[in-house]
């Protein structure tokens, strides 16, 4: 899809939800069915991302998606591990994803990471559909493989359907508690004002055609204006991850959301100190249909156009940070692009005080989310940075005057071995968690406890 000259960019779809609720399975179903249908060549897998062309979507969705109704090239799905903050998925101060699927296990309902996903969808105003997954586990359920959900739902026994309804109404209630008016998707007339809930199973494929249909509808209606971009312009993207790749050193997994990146391009990348200016040595994509996370061999490509996932190999990338912007310089002055990257980073800069706690997070997006949560809880911040917990952080936290501030709050980060030693020998407390509000709560409780 990336080399297809099309004036409309592929919409980016984030797949969000609590651990084990079925995000990857849902994507596997979308990929897998297409493959078994002999569509292997038509599916392009990228870094943490899967591009699914319109023809494949319409084939899977059957009568629900007529390709002639759409002029979008397809959809780019981004899987987010449940334990990892998808707040990495930001771009230009907003959401990187154009639309989202919130996957919720119908039996489990809302869980901490579901709440966290809702927070960010709300904050960024990202349109989304709810995949009420695992309907096949409803007692008495009679599966209809790969069917649209309505006929399958209508064909269930009364008792199976009412058990499922109970769970679905619970879910609709939880959405309404969060100020979203939601309903069974087939009753939703206006997807702009209402959230569609699609009962589905990533295992049996029921409801998957419906999810694709709703996503296409959402993209087509609300995104079209934004999709008409200069697809030939200098590439812009967001760093998903900084990874060591054998033979290349530090590389970047990037989602390109605008323009084109070519081998040899000069790029500017947001980093822990000054932006990095470097030259693209290689652009790497996983082989089609290889498992992304275990993929070791990559195919080298000359250019990548939006929207796509790609691994960028270039010198001096080790200080790059997840969530940071990547911009191609082409036809502009380098200084201008550096200033742009700095401006974008400044937007996310956290307000710090003379006295407060030390915050470490895995990505710029999660650091921003942490800072917002702490501000709401009126907890002052002395220093906030992306990265694992280092001895320097322990030293800085130790300089706080108030005992309660001699604290490091770590979100999705590791403690470096030498920092571990420092921690043991100091009076600095460490709190770590992979759910932001739980982390803030734990710290709050600790402060309350101390005041007693």
Annotated binding site for GTP: 17-24, 79-83, 133-136
Residue 334 and residue 266 in contact, taking contact as beta carbons nearer than 8 Å: yes
Q: Is 202 in the site for ligand GTP (CB under 6 A)?
A: yes
- Residue 8 DSSP one-character state: B
**Alpha carbon of 125 to those of 99, 173, 193, 206, 223: distances in Å?**
9, 20, 12, 28, 13
Residue 136 contacts which entry, ligand GTP, Mg ion, none (Cβ below 5-8 A, type-dependent): ligand GTP
User: Which member of 2, 10, 24, 85 binds Mg ion (CB under 5 A)?
Assistant: 24
Residue 266 contacts which entry, ligand GTP, Mg ion, none (Cβ below 5-8 A, type-dependent): none
Residue 284 contacts which entry, Mg ion, ligand GTP, none (Cβ below 5-8 A, type-dependent): none
DSSP helix/strand/coil, 139: coil
Residue 202 contacts which entry, ligand GTP, Mg ion, none (Cβ below 5-8 A, type-dependent): ligand GTP
Query: Nearer to ligand GTP by C-beta: 2 or 24?
Result: 24
d(CA 351, CA 359): 12
Q: Is 236 in the site for ligand GTP (CB under 6 A)?
A: no
- Judged by CB under 5 A, which stretch of 18-26, 160-168, 175-183, 215-223 contacts Mg ion? 18-26
Residue 22 contacts which entry, ligand GTP, Mg ion, none (Cβ below 5-8 A, type-dependent): ligand GTP
Asked, as a colleague might, if the bond just before 189 is cis with ω within 30 of 0, I would say no
Query: Nearer to ligand GTP by C-beta: 263 or 295?
Result: 295
Output the residue with the shortest Cβ distance to Mg ion: 24
User: Which member of 81, 140, 155, 264 binds ligand GTP (CB under 6 A)?
Assistant: 81
d(CA 375, CA 298): 43
Classify the C-alpha dihedral 105-106-111-113 as positive or negative. Answer: positive
**Alpha carbon of 174 to those of 14, 105, 119, 180, 438: distances in Å?**
21, 13, 13, 9, 19
Residue 104 and residue 114 in contact, taking contact as beta carbons nearer than 8 Å: yes
d(CA 146, CA 213): 14
Q: How far is the CB of 48 from ligand GTP (least distance, A)?
A: 11
Query: Nearer to ligand GTP by C-beta: 25 or 352?
Result: 25
**At CA 360, angle to CA 119 and CA 373, rounded to 5?**
30
Q: How far is the CB of 296 from ligand GTP (least distance, A)?
A: 20
d(CA 413, CA 432): 8
Q: How far is the CB of 80 from ligand GTP (least distance, A)?
A: 8
User: Which member of 6, 20, 414, 433 binds ligand GTP (CB under 6 A)?
Assistant: 20
- Judged by CB under 6 A, which stretch of 4-12, 165-173, 201-209, 372-380 contacts ligand GTP? 201-209
Q: Is 140 in the site for ligand GTP (CB under 6 A)?
A: no
Q: To the nearest 10°, the Cα dihedral for 260, 266, 267, 271?
A: 170
Q: Is 48 in the site for ligand GTP (CB under 6 A)?
A: no
Q: How many CB atoms lie within 10 A of CB 102?
A: 25
Residues that bind Mg ion (CB under 5 A): 23-24
Residue ranges binding ligand GTP (CB under 6 A) = 17, 19-25, 81-82, 133-134, 136-137, 201-203
């Amino acid at each position: 899809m990336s080399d297809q000259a099309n004036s409309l960019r592929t919409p980016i779809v984030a797949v969000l939800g609590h651990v084990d609720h079925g995000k990857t399975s849902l994507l596997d179903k979308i990929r897998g069915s297409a493959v078994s249908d002999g569509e292997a060549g038509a599916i392009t897998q990228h870094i943490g991302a899967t591009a699914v062309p319109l023809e494949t979507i319409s084939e899977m969705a059957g009568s629900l998606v007529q390709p002639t109704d759409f002029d979008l090239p397809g959809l780019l799905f981004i899987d987010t591990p449940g334990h990892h903050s998808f707040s990495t998925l930001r771009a230009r101060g907003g959401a990187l994803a154009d639309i989202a699927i919130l996957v919720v296990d119908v039996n489990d309902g809302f869980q901490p990471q579901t709440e966290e996903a809702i927070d960010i969808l709300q904050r960024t105003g990202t349109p989304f559909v709810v995949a009420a997954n695992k309907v096949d586990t409803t007692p008495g359920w009679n599966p209809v493989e790969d069917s649209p959900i309505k006929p399958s739902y209508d064909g269930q026994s009364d008792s199976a359907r009412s058990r499922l309804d109970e769970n679905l109404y619970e879910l609709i209630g939880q959405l309404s508690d969060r100020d979203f008016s939601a309903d069974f998707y087939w009753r939703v007339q206006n997807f702009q004002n209402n959230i569609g809930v699609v009962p589905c199973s990533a295992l049996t494929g029921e409801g998957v055609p419906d999810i694709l249909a709703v996503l296409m509808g959402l993209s087509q209606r609300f995104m079209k204006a934004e999709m008409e971009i200069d697809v030939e312009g200098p590439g812009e993207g967001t760093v998903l991850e900084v990874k060591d790749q054998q033979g290349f050193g530090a590389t970047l997994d990037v989602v390109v959301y605008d323009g084109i990146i070519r081998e040899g391009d000069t790029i500017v990348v947001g980093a822990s100190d000054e932006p990095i200016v470097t030259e693209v040595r290689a652009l790497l994509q996983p082989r089609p249909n290889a498992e992304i996370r275990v993929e070791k061999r990559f195919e080298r490509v000359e250019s990548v156009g939006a929207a796509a996932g790609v691994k960028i190999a270039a010198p001096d990338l080790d200080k790059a940070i997840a969530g940071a912007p990547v911009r191609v310089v082409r036809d502009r002055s380098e200084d201008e692009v550096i200033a742009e990257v700095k401006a974008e980073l400044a937007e996310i800069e956290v307000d710090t005080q003379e006295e407060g706690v030390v915050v470490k997070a895995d990505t710029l997006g999660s650091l921003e989310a942490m800072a917002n949560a702490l501000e709401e809880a009126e907890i002052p911040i002395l220093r906030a940075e992306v990265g694992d917990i280092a001895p320097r952080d322990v030293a800085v936290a130790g300089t706080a005057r108030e005992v309660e501030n001699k604290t490091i709050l770590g979100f999705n980060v590791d403690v470096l071995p030498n920092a571990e030693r420092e921690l043991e020998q100091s009076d600095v407390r460490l709190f770590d968690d992979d759910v932001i509000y739980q982390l803030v709560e734990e710290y709050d409780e600790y402060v309350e406890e101390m005041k007693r």
